[in-house]
Amino acid sequence: MPLYLSTFTYEPRTWAKLIYDSSNRREGVRETVEAVGGSLRDFWYTMGDQDGYVMFECPDDQAAMTFLSVSYSRGNLRSIKTSKLFTVEEMVSSLEAAGELPNLPERP
């Protein structure tokens, strides 16, 4: 299954709610991603520009967008930024395929 990495930031009011109800948000995320046929790889909180990271698998990009849309629609997040991840082997295969295309730039 394709793998995705999302960074997120909470709304300030979400932090206030978490102070008074410090439940494990990972389980809510897990339920939502599993509802679209995916699986949660992991969930981390961070210090810095982002509040956390979520790594998850979904059957396809549409399922990933469904998961992200539901997650964002709850109103607790200020932003979500998601990247689709590729294995080293997938990237090497893509680069080899690119090398077979016409009109490549000159070899450096």
CB 66, CB 53: distance < 8 Å? no
- Identify the pLDDT of residue 104: 86
pLDDT, tens digit (0-9, with 9 covering 90-100), for 4-29: 999 999 999 999 998 998 778 899 99
What's the pTM? 0.87
Match domain 3-96 to its CATH number in 3.90.480.20, 3.40.50.300, 3.30.110.60, 3.30.70.920. Answer: 3.30.70.920
Q: In the sheet that 52-57 helps form, which strands lie side by side, from edge to edge?
A: 39-45, 52-57, 3-10, 77-85
Answer yes or no: is pLDDT of 80 > 90.
yes
Q: Give percent of the chain with pLDDT exceeding 90.
A: 85
pLDDT, tens digit (0-9, with 9 covering 90-100), for 45-62: 999 999 999 999 999 999
What Rg, from alpha-carbon coordinates, does the chain have?
A: 18
